[in-house]
Amino acid sequence: MTRSETLFARAQQSIPGGVNSPVRAFRAVGGTPRFIAAAEGAYITDADGQRYVDYVGSWGPMITGHQDPDVIAAIRRQVSVGVSYGAPTELEIEMAELLCARVPGVAMVRMCNSGTEATMSALRLARGYTGRDYIIKFEGCYHGHGDALLVKAGSGALTFGVPTSPGVPADLAKYTLTAQYNQLDTVDALLAAHPGQIAAIIVEPVAGNMNCVPPADGFLQGLRERCTQHGAVLIVDEVMTGFRVHPRGACGLYGLEPDLITLGKIIGGGLPVGAFGGRAEIMQKLAPLGPVYQAGTLSGNPLAMAAGLAILRKLADAQLYQTLEQSTASLLEGLEQRASAAGVPFTTTQVGSMFGLYFTEQKAIRSFADVSRCDLDAFKRFFHAMLARGVYLAPSAYEAGFVSSRHGEAEIKLTLDAAEQAFAAL
Ligand code: PMP
């Protein structure tokens, strides 16, 4: 038995499924999850001492690689003066000022502890602000595991939401309407069916939780126009894309003006964090200024603020984003070439340093339905062939991959050499 196998067996005795977040269990790909012992730069090392080029990056936060020296130094400095106070600190002001300065549409911001908290709170705020109950989300978009957001359409976009998970009351889920990503007509149908009742439209500006689906031309702008016209709040969920796809996030990249925006992942430098912010008129409805309640024992945690500020200061560098985009492009170009040489139907998507891999004959991937038509079995076999050759991809065909600034030529070459063999073995 490998040490990961031993640990996985032991973990399952005391942790449901042996993991603290489901995708980590490798259910989608089969096999034993690798238990990680250490990480550095572009690499993670498992409990058996195997090293992998890591394209998960803690699911997005590690944009400058693991153990970024500036982040680690900032955490060390903060540890020496305290890890949590439950009272305000100057670090929180610095974080808020930085987010207001860099993120489009953010005049005020509140910190919380995860992306889930951020979207859940943004929804409550949108509902409190508009006095409306219904929300529109898109099939295949994930916004954390808050009750109202664990919903997708049952049959067709006009039906009431059915909960994706037991435990979400149907009476609550019925307020979550589901439209199709990149299809504005499905949004129009919902708006027409619920006049004056939609509190918010929430969207991933680049869908990164059904693999990686870029927005079609005009889609995001179309949502902006419809929200303005119908008095609904546009919530742009940038938990994944914020500071990932552009120095000013997806809103910066696409010139989109949100009403509310949610953030997480990168802004905590790898520590637990979330944030939501937006127009002052809406944010002022939050307690203690306004009636909409939201709070957190560890919110604005000094360690997370110190780590987040350290990373965000580095990310002011536009050159870094160009390099990231170029490395990602050469990775994807290389993968497509090797797939085609091996005769494997395969395509990729890219937005900045986010990417998607698809085993399919289709050339354009625009929707959840397109993603669902891909060959899941080929993905599984490719995943394991890569893992065996020292490359750690997301263990699911419905997750985006991430490149860090520590993925240099050597790491990309290692990945492409592994892929050449993996495609051939398919
Ligand atoms: N929104 C988006 C777009 C996400 O990608 C995620 C997490 N992958 C979340 C919200 C939830 O964040 P967390 O896992 O920190 O609760």
Residue 288: cis peptide before it, omega within 30 degrees of 0: yes
Confidence of residue 153 (pLDDT cuts 50, 70, 90): very low
Decide if pLDDT at 157 tops 60: no
Domain ranges of the chain: 3-64+317-425, 69-314
Confidence of residue 159 (pLDDT cuts 50, 70, 90): very low
Confidence of residue 363 (pLDDT cuts 50, 70, 90): confident
* pLDDT attached to residue 158: 32
204 C-beta closer than 6 A to ligand 1: yes
Atom of ligand 1 at shortest range from CA of 238: 3
Torsion angle in degrees (nearest 10) through CA of 183, 186, 191, 194:
-160
Catalytic residues: 142, 237, 265
Q: Ligand 1 mean position to 337 CA, how many Å?
A: 32
Contact 210, 141 (CB under 8 A): yes
Dig out the tokens for 293 from the structure: 């309640």
* pLDDT attached to residue 151: 80
C-alpha to C-alpha distances, 416 to 40, 78, 350, 390, 413, nearest whole angstrom: 20, 40, 17, 11, 5
Decide if pLDDT at 20 tops 90: yes
Decide if pLDDT at 393 tops 90: yes
CATH 3.10.580.10 fits 69-314, yes or no: no
Dig out the tokens for 252 from the structure: 């910066």
Q: Ligand 1 mean position to 413 CA, how many Å?
A: 31
* pLDDT attached to residue 162: 52
209 C-beta closer than 6 A to ligand 1: yes
Q: Ligand 1 mean position to 114 CA, how many Å?
A: 7
Decide if pLDDT at 152 tops 90: no
**Ligand 1 probe mutation, 23, 24, 119, most atoms within 8 A of CB:** 119
Return the CATH architecture of domain 3-64+317-425. Answer: Alpha-Beta Complex (3.90)
Q: Ligand 1 mean position to 194 CA, how many Å?
A: 28
Question: For ligand 1, atom 12, which residue shows the shortest CA distance?
Answer: 115
**Arithmetic mean of pLDDT, 187-204:** 98
pLDDT more than 90, % of the chain: 92
| 353 three-class SS | coil
**Arithmetic mean of pLDDT, 198-218:** 97
* pLDDT attached to residue 409: 98
Taken in order 304, 305, 310, 313, is the CA torsion positive or negative?
positive
**Arithmetic mean of pLDDT, 375-382:** 96
Decide if pLDDT at 154 tops 90: no
* pLDDT attached to residue 165: 81
Decide if pLDDT at 424 tops 50: yes
Atom of ligand 1 at shortest range from CA of 141: 3
pLDDT tens, position by position, 36-59: 999 999 999 999 999 999 999 999
Confidence of residue 166 (pLDDT cuts 50, 70, 90): confident
Dig out the tokens for 301 from the structure: 């945690």
**Ligand 1 probe mutation, 24, 147, 239, 351, most atoms within 8 A of CB:** 239
Q: Which of 216, 150, 211, 146 is nearest to 180 (CA)?
A: 216
Atom of ligand 1 at shortest range from CA of 117: 16
The DSSP annotation for 2-27 comes to -HHHHHHHHHHHHSGGGSSSGGGG-T
399 C-beta closer than 6 A to ligand 1: no
The DSSP symbol for 286 reads B
**How high does pLDDT run on average in the chain?**
95
